[in-house]
Amino acid sequence: MSYLETTHNVYKEAALTPDVGLCCTTNPIWELPGLKIPRIMQEMNYGCGSTVHARDLTNNPKMLYVGVGGGMELLQFAYFNRNKGGVIGLDVVDEMLEASRKNFIIAEEQNDWFKSDFVDLRKGDAMNLPVEDNSIDVAAQNCLFNIFKSDDLKKAIAEMYRVLKPNGKLVMSDPTCEQPMNDELRNDERLRALCLSGSLTIADYVKALTDAGFGTIEIRARKPYRILDPKNYPTDELIYIESIEVAAIKDPMPEDGPCIFTGKAAIYYGDEDFFDDGKGHTLLKNQPIAICDKTAGDLQALGRDDIYFSESTFHYDGGGCC
């Protein structure tokens, strides 16, 4: 049995019998004004964070969500696009698609604004999306990409890039791990399906996105997720897993490489009202500005004694230098 077959079976079981502990989301389940999320959707929230951010969802964006779970984030996305088929929900597991359909009926009863046909549920896998080129404004996946092995991950990211419009966003939440994992953990198909042993380092995760052509990467959150301990897992050391929330933007790749925002900021405190580096970056006096890692390196290389640089916070919420 391949690891993808194991994953299929795990989520088939989770669709037929909701498993509250399957994934442990690190976010509260927030409800917008007039939005009620059915309890069954909350119980089937098989993610590790949130991909729903209001600032991404203005002007009725066309949306794609891969790996539907119980439909909770699809319902949240539909809140921002109340048009027939405005949100596409895609899954390879028939039972998960059927569970979402049933859950949407409950959501209709609890939300007078919502109609099930706002969401276009389709069967398909992440490596061969049944979606047209350049047709999606915002694509999302939650706790899915970490399951894929390297070659399959490249295909999945390339497919997301293909379907996004120019300047479209791919919004993601996935577990990451900075510690090495042994081969027994990496090759355990069930642990990989449970979003535990397939975790990449943040650097490798970002590289997979930029290798696909995404010109801007925003790391929006980095939070504790799980522990793999020697008593319960085949490891000699305790392994700490985090979850990150990331947005990758399909904008042109800069000649000097991608802009990667990891939550760094610069503060100019010199004698003038502002500092202009001549490369499109203006720092107002005593006003912090978010900067990508590339800009941080360029500014630090100037050797000035009147600019302060913060470390990466791994929290970025816009307003940056690029």
Q: What is the DSSP string of 81-116?
A: --STT-EEEEES-HHHHHHHHHHHHHHHHH-TT--G
In this prediction, residue 321 carries a pLDDT of 75
Q: How confident is the model at residue 24 (pLDDT cuts 50, 70, 90)?
A: low
Place of tokens 């027994």: 184
Three-state SS letters, 190-256: HHHHCCCCCCECHHHHHHHHHHCCCCEEEEEEEEEEEEECCCCCCCCCCEEEEEEEEEEECCCCCCC
In tens, the pLDDT along 47-88 reads 899 999 999 999 999 999 999 999 999 999 999 999 999 999
CA distance 230 to 72: 34
The secondary structure of residue 267, as a DSSP letter, is E
How does pLDDT run across 256-306, given as a tens digit for each residue? 999 999 999 999 999 999 999 998 899 999 999 999 999 999 999 999 999
Indicate whether 158 pLDDT > 90: yes
CB 69 within 8 A of CB 142: yes
The pTM (predicted TM-score) of the whole model is: 0.94
Q: Is 266 helix (H, G, I), strand (E, B) or coil?
A: strand
Distance between alpha carbon 116 and the CA centroid of its chain, in Å?
Answer: 24
| Distance from C-alpha of 281 to C-alpha of 148, rounded to nearest angstrom | 38
* For residue 26, pLDDT beyond 70: no
